[in-house]
Structure 1
């Protein structure tokens, strides 16, 4: 009986943790990083103490909630660096990063902002990814395809603008992000060559 009770308690704790993470991801993605822990606890139908038992700080919850998209961003930049053509690698990175950020606004804000030092295990991965991106930018410039005056902050600025896209559904947000990425890529190129853009997307004319 004791073993059964212990197993049930572990199962309940695991379910609570997964539910907290799911709620946190959704909240951060739609409302940004300012959602209070107590509100996350309420939506997850647990007490605030339960949240803190699994995640001692809000920063720890941030980092765990964003672990998967952070790993995906790192993999995307590594894929771009591995491309034989630095320009094509750079274009791939811009397109895929913007898609990831369009789908998860909370992660996008975390990636492009300065989080407290307590989130070392998040910021370390982010900073490594940015260093790889800087190397890709250097290679694309050296190949003569990327404009010489572009800096990393220009890419970050584009991702911040991309995060601001508002659309009726995630699918429309991704479609709009693809068109925006194509516009940015053309502006980043050393000698822009007009190319067809992805189809336009009807967006709301008022902020929500």
Structure 2
């Protein structure tokens, strides 16, 4: 008498390589789409994105059923990266290092973005909870400034709104997607950060009064 229990068929899990390939395809599509949207605006055809990502159009639509879904995912990744920069800087035990890294990295993101965020918010104002993310960025930047000043290395007359000047300066020289443009942005930001350090403060030449800039626009400027 055969007492062995009948075996039920179990669903086969995807092989690890297949799952890895799917992840690689998704990330490549998002990277290509981000660059394409930044360079050419949101009207880039899906077929062009698939071609640049070296995937079939059918594969692209399996990952992102509509173009709106792809655009929204690109923007969500961009904002998530921004908030991650803030969180990592706040976790840095060195207040000046955290402040410096946050500003430098955000300006690099801004140079790469070339207007993607502004275009997205114009086309899809309700697609992502931008206000909550923006508030997180603003509060984080204010805390980074406070910590660096309490540590004694960020000049005491520096205002949080002065960060807008940094982002505007970085954006002003990042006029294209070339490496030369990004290098110019990095150099300008490095000059500015150097001037913010207390080692560079001239007690006999105070700064002019702060510009009446709205800190509420900081998060927009970061990736504008």
Bin the TM-score by the shorter chain. 0.5 to 0.7
Query: Where do residues 6-21 of structure 1 align in structure 2 (5 Å cutoff)?
Result: 21=30
**Structure 1 residues 139 and 70, CA gap change in structure 2 (3 angstroms):** same
Q: Of the candidates 23, 28, 35, which is equivalent to residue 42 of structure 2?
A: 35
Deviations 1:110-150 (A, max 9, x none): 7999x723321x44334323321221112223333234341
Q: What CA distance in whole angstroms lies between the structure 1 residues aligned with 2:28 and 2:36? A: 12
Name whichever of 97-106 and 177-186 sits farther off. 97-106
Q: Report deviation, 1:191.
A: 5.0
Q: Report deviation, 1:151.
A: 2.0
| Equivalent position of 1:176 in the other structure | 184
Do residues 131 (structure 1) and 139 (structure 2) align?
A: yes
Q: Of the candidates 100, 103, 116, which is equivalent to residue 94 of structure 1?
A: 103
| Equivalent position of 1:10 in the other structure | none
Q: CA RMSD in A?
A: 4.0
| Equivalent position of 1:54 in the other structure | 65
Is the contact between residue 148 and residue 190 of structure 1 (CA under 8 Å) also seen in structure 2? no
The TM-score with structure 2 as length reference comes to: 0.56
**Structure 1 residues 157 and 107, CA gap change in structure 2 (3 angstroms):** farther
Q: What CA distance in whole angstroms lies between the structure 2 residues aligned with 1:127 and 1:81? A: 15
Do residues 150 (structure 1) and 159 (structure 2) align?
A: yes
Do residues 77 (structure 1) and 82 (structure 2) align?
A: no
Q: What CA distance in whole angstroms lies between the structure 2 residues aligned with 1:110 and 1:146? A: 35
Where in structure 2 are there 5+ consecutive unaligned residues?
A: 1-21, 51-56, 203-224
**Structure 1 residues 93 and 54, CA gap change in structure 2 (3 angstroms):** same
**Structure 1 residues 29 and 123, CA gap change in structure 2 (3 angstroms):** farther
Do residues 116 (structure 1) and 121 (structure 2) align?
A: no
Is the contact between residue 98 and residue 181 of structure 1 (CA under 8 Å) also seen in structure 2? yes
The TM-score with structure 1 as length reference comes to: 0.59
Where in structure 1 are there 5+ consecutive unaligned residues?
A: 1-13, 195-208
Is the contact between residue 147 and residue 188 of structure 1 (CA under 8 Å) also seen in structure 2? no
